[in-house]
Chain A
Amino acid sequence: MGLFDKFEKNAALLSQLSAAGKNPFTVVMEEVLGPTRAKIKGRETVLAGTHNYLGQTFEPKAIAAAKEALDHDGTGTTGSRVANGTFSGHTKLEREIADFLGMKNCVVFSTGYAANLGAIAGFVDRNEDVVLIDADCHACIYDGCQLSGAETVRFRHNDPESLDKRLSRLDPKYNGKLVCIEGMYSMYGDIAPVKEFVEVAHKHGAHLLVDEAHSFGVYGETGKGVSEAEGVMDEIDFYTGTFSKALASIGGFMASNHPEAEYIRFASNPYRFTASPSPSTIASAGAALANISENPAIRAKLWENARRLHGAFVQFGLRLAAKPAPVISVLLPTREDAFEAWSFLLEQGVYVNMAIPPGTPGKESLLRLAVSSAHTNDDIDRLVAAYGALAEAFPSARVDGNA
């Protein structure tokens, strides 16, 4: 009663889907068989709906480092970064990330979600400052704005001119201005024109935060992200990221060239009031970071796989959301189509993500494939075959099928 009334509508839909065995939100990985395979509903399935972009989940060096940390430092820190939860592993990893990015400092949080929450709420004063966010930013950026309590203005997705207009008409009463964008956006796999955003933000005296959760390790000459690919690593003010995707662990961080940025350690509740990442997760993240920076071939393989899949899907006439990228999304006009198409792929032995509005940028639903460098030729063949069958069975997924 009361509290639960609002669940009714979704609960009805979800139980209907579950009854039909088509609920994308209750999938269980019954047995993990490797970086790109798991048993789902008793069947070996190709995983193409993960964030294991660089295939580090079973990297032997990361596993060895995690085991050693378990043996030496125990299972958990039992405390927050500002109390008993900062071990030498945490500060070492902060140094390593800062060095990898070529930035002055880095603050490690318990998740990427907490890093964005903590950075926004930590920097922005509810009475004096204002936040401007790309309309398609991740929930944790929206939540960070709410936590900050400051006035929040949205601008059009990937549209520096729209930001420019909004900055121009801001009341001069604001002291600090924080602009938040992402590197690669996770739903469509489209990337931000970071360079133009830097110019617009700085022209108006605003700071720019770039969340590279999905692009860290993936974009740029040396894997520093879209900011590197755009040639503006030295110009962005705050860089946030996560260990949960390319580094296949758990944790998050905020890096900066501003020496003052480190003060958020004392100003940010998502840093101060939650336990720090466990020693083994920190150790595996560090080992994965070392591994991917020493082996650029891993990133090259990811891009090779992404181009192969994207090329094949274009051939099939599928309606794709963006250019070749480690996320390849097929657009579908309705939720019903999306549920059907998603379970069709699962029956073909392929797991991808499904997203429906309002969790998607537009009015369409989508099937989201995330590529991994660990996808083998056999995996890619199976993905191509499954999407070929999808294109046949679902005209609504094709460019020519919306008539």
Chain B
Amino acid sequence: MSGIQEDDDLVFHKITSLLEPLNEKGVKLTRETDIIADLEIDSVSLLDVVMDIEDNYDISIPVNTISEIKTIGELVDAIHKIKKEQS
């Protein structure tokens, strides 16, 4: 397993662990899950989850970036990109 793949899984795992408490309908979380549409969480709750991610990885994810993200996979990719830029 390459370093990136391993990191990818860790980030994915982190995100799903933060989203799980909000997953009231018990949807199976995959990279393709549409965070707002499939989980029926509101946009502010998503911003709050992102704030936890920011503090966990010590990065800043601008609100503008979040509003372009739909799926968990896109969020994982955005975090990787920002981690690279901000490290």
**A→B interface (CB under 8 Å):** 130, 135, 142, 145, 151-154, 156, 162, 165-166, 169-171, 357-358
Q: Supply 14 A–B pairs (Cβ within 8 Å), ascending by A.
A: A135-B51, A151-B62, A151-B64, A152-B62, A153-B63, A154-B47, A154-B63, A156-B51, A166-B60, A170-B60, A171-B85, A171-B86, A357-B42, A358-B45
Q: Give the contacting residue for B48; candidates A135, A142, A162, A170; CB below 8 A.
A: A135
The distance in angstroms between the C-alpha atoms of A366 and B65, with both chains bound, is 31
B7 to chain A, nearest CB (A): 19
Complex contact A165–B55 (CB within 8 A)? yes
Complex contact B60–A169 (CB within 8 A)? yes
A328 to chain B, nearest CB (A): 23
Complex contact B60–A153 (CB within 8 A)? yes
Residues in B whose Cβ lies below 8 Å from that of A145:
63
The distance in angstroms between the C-alpha atoms of A156 and B54, with both chains bound, is 11
B18 close to A (CB within 8 Å): no
B39 close to A (CB within 8 Å): no
> With contacts A152-B62, A153-B60, A358-B44 known, what are 16 further pairs, Cβ within 8 A?
A130-B62, A135-B48, A142-B63, A145-B63, A151-B62, A151-B64, A153-B63, A154-B51, A154-B63, A162-B55, A165-B55, A165-B58, A166-B54, A171-B86, A358-B42, A358-B43
Of the listed residues B43, B47, B54, B59, the one surrounded by the most CB atoms of chain A closer than 10 A to its CB is: B54
Interface of B is mostly: helix
**B→A interface (CB under 8 Å):** 42-45, 47-48, 51, 54-55, 58-60, 62-64, 85-86
Residues in A whose Cβ lies below 8 Å from that of B43:
358
With contact pairs A169-B86, A171-B86, A358-B44 given, residues A152 and B51 touching in the complex (Cβ less than 8 Å)? no
B29 to chain A, nearest CB (A): 20
